[in-house]
Amino acid sequence: MFEGFEVRQVRTDEASVFVRHGGEGPPVVLLHGHPRTSATWHRVAPLLVRRGFTVVCPDLRGYGRSRGPAPTADHAGYSKRAVAGDVVEVMRTLGHDRFAVAGHDRGGPVALRLALDHPEVITRVALLDCLPICEHLSRITAEFATQWWHWFFFAQPDVPERVINADPDSWYRGDPQSLGRENHDEFRQATRNPEVVRAMLEDYRAGLTVDRRHEEADRAAGNRIRCPALVLWSLRDDLEDLYGDPLQIWRQWAVDVRGHGIDSGHHVAEQAPEALAADLGDFFAGQQV
């Protein structure tokens, strides 16, 4: 995986972030979702390098080989605001003061936080298979609660750790053929680590508490994404089924939104890498998508 890329561990104020980076040209950051690592981009990142970009793929705070602070009662150490701060520090360490970002799944709210908290840094933002967390929560239905029940299970104290760590391979299933053997092995190794499992759960606990408050404050204040935003969603996932056209929701959060569905299941970077890389490459290059 990631032939020609370098790896390093970058210290931030509160975390130690594992990062892969390679290529030359305008910088782009790719943020993975749960329960993946930066390896989820192993088919997309080289395609973007060929398009002429510098591509940076970090493990989010607490995921994979990144480590964050000890959890606290307010979950602030794993808030999307804190994780976004990691990304800014990592990019400055690598010599990039401005960059584009794409976030998938749990990486999507981090990308949103970057665009809202650091508008002077973010040039373009791509939001993949995601909505703002508060938009999900304001639209809770029986269908949402049934299909996304893990959000609320993960938010419970202590119990999820005991359940998941008793048999992580059964809980986090993955197919080596579809993921790619090295990507699968890295993901599997991470999910067998109780420290990683705890951090991933803190991500969800923060989502229902501190992250929700941050987003609701932005919505009340009328804060919006000012840079161009691309919204992509997997047609064989449930985002459109639950909410209708995601663009209509994101237009309440950004002034310049475009996007469409991709023929894929939820893990689009692994299942439809060529289509995703083509859309991201065109968007980050300023072309019509």
Per DSSP, the residues of 195-251 read: HHHHHHHHHHHHIIIIIHHHHHHHHHHT--B-S-EEEEEETTSSHHHHHS-HHHHHT
Give the separation between CA 1 and CA 269, rounded to whole angstroms.
Answer: 14
**Residue 3: HSE in the Cβ half-sphere, 13 Å Cα cutoff:** 3
**C-alpha closest to that of 57 among 82, 24, 91, 85:** 91
93 Cβ contact partners less than 8 Å away, ≥ 6 residues apart: 10
Give the separation between CA 198 and CA 63, rounded to whole angstroms.
Answer: 9
Q: Which one-letter amino acid corresponds to residue 157?
A: P
CATH architecture for the domain at 6-284: 3-Layer(aba) Sandwich (3.40)
Is 258 strand, coil or helix?
Answer: strand
pLDDT in tens, the chain (289 residues): 999 999 999 999 999 999 999 999 999 999 999 999 999 999 999 999 999 999 999 999 999 999 999 999 999 999 999 999 999 999 999 999 999 999 999 999 999 999 999 999 999 999 999 999 999 999 999 999 999 999 999 999 999 999 999 999 999 988 898 999 999 999 999 999 999 999 999 999 999 999 999 999 999 999 999 999 999 999 999 999 999 999 999 999 999 999 999 999 999 999 999 999 999 999 999 988 8
Give the separation between CA 9 and CA 16, rounded to whole angstroms.
Answer: 6
Q: Which residue has the tokens 């930066």?
A: 38
- pLDDT of the residue at 289: 81
**C-alpha closest to that of 280 among 59, 113, 30:** 30
Q: Which one is catalytic: 117, 185, 266, 282?
A: 266
Q: Which one is catalytic: 105, 129, 203, 211?
A: 105
The reported pTM is: 0.97
Other Cβ atoms less than 10 A from the Cβ of 247: the count is: 15
Give the separation between CA 230 and CA 283, rounded to whole angstroms.
Answer: 7
* Torsion sign (Cα): 110, 112, 117, 121: positive
- 105 is a catalytic site residue: yes
Tell me how far apart the terminal alpha carbons of the chain are, to the nearest angstrom: 28
- pLDDT of the residue at 288: 80
- 266 is a catalytic site residue: yes
